[in-house]
């Protein structure tokens, strides 16, 4: 399944970037994730609430304030890219996440349609809502740098 996005927010690009630069910060933006566990060699396990298998991920590209890319391994396979474009009022965030339950083989497309696609869409939307609130409040909604 693939989630694509092109969103604009009234927060500084540096603030938006902080949420994505490491899986350790993802739970601060996306409440569907629990605290990430460092597995060594750049790999992290990010618990995904409601699923028995964490997202095992590693950042493969980090261009501060411009782009972050990562891959998934283990039960979940795929990759993602988030690009940041500075605007006069904040930031535009564009990109995608391509993820699939690897271990389900031929059942994966059915599971994606029935259970996963809507769930992953909601996860991303929850993060966008937090950034929109930060835009409106003029505050750092989820303290990404702590």
Measured CA to CA, the distance from residue 75 to residue 127 in angstroms comes to 23
Position 138 pLDDT exceeds 70: no
User: Rounded to 5 degrees, what are φ and ψ at 79?
Assistant: -155, 170
Confidence of residue 9 (pLDDT cuts 50, 70, 90): very high
CB atoms closer than 10 angstroms to residue 25: 20
Total-model pTM: 0.84
Per-residue pLDDT, 100:
80
- Of 16, 3, 2, the closest CA to residue 89 belongs to 16
The CATH code of the domain at 2-137 is 3.30.530.20
Position 8 pLDDT exceeds 80: yes
């Amino acid at each position: 399944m693939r989630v694509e996005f092109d969103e604009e927010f009234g927060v500084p690009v540096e603030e938006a970037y902080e949420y994505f630069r490491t899986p350790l910060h993802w739970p601060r933006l996306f409440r569907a994730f629990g605290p990430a566990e460092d597995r060594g060699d750049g790999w992290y396990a990010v618990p995904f609430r409601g699923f028995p298998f964490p997202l095992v991920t590693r950042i493969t590209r980090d261009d501060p304030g411009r782009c972050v890319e990562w891959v998934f391994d283990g039960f979940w396979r795929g990759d993602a890219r988030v690009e940041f474009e500075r605007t006069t009022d904040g930031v535009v965030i564009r990109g995608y996440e391509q993820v699939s339950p690897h271990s389900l083989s031929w059942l994966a497309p059915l599971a994606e349609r029935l259970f996963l696609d809507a769930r992953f869409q909601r996860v991303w939307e929850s993060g966008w809502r937090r950034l929109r609130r930060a835009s409106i409040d003029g505050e750092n909604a989820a303290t990404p740098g702590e």
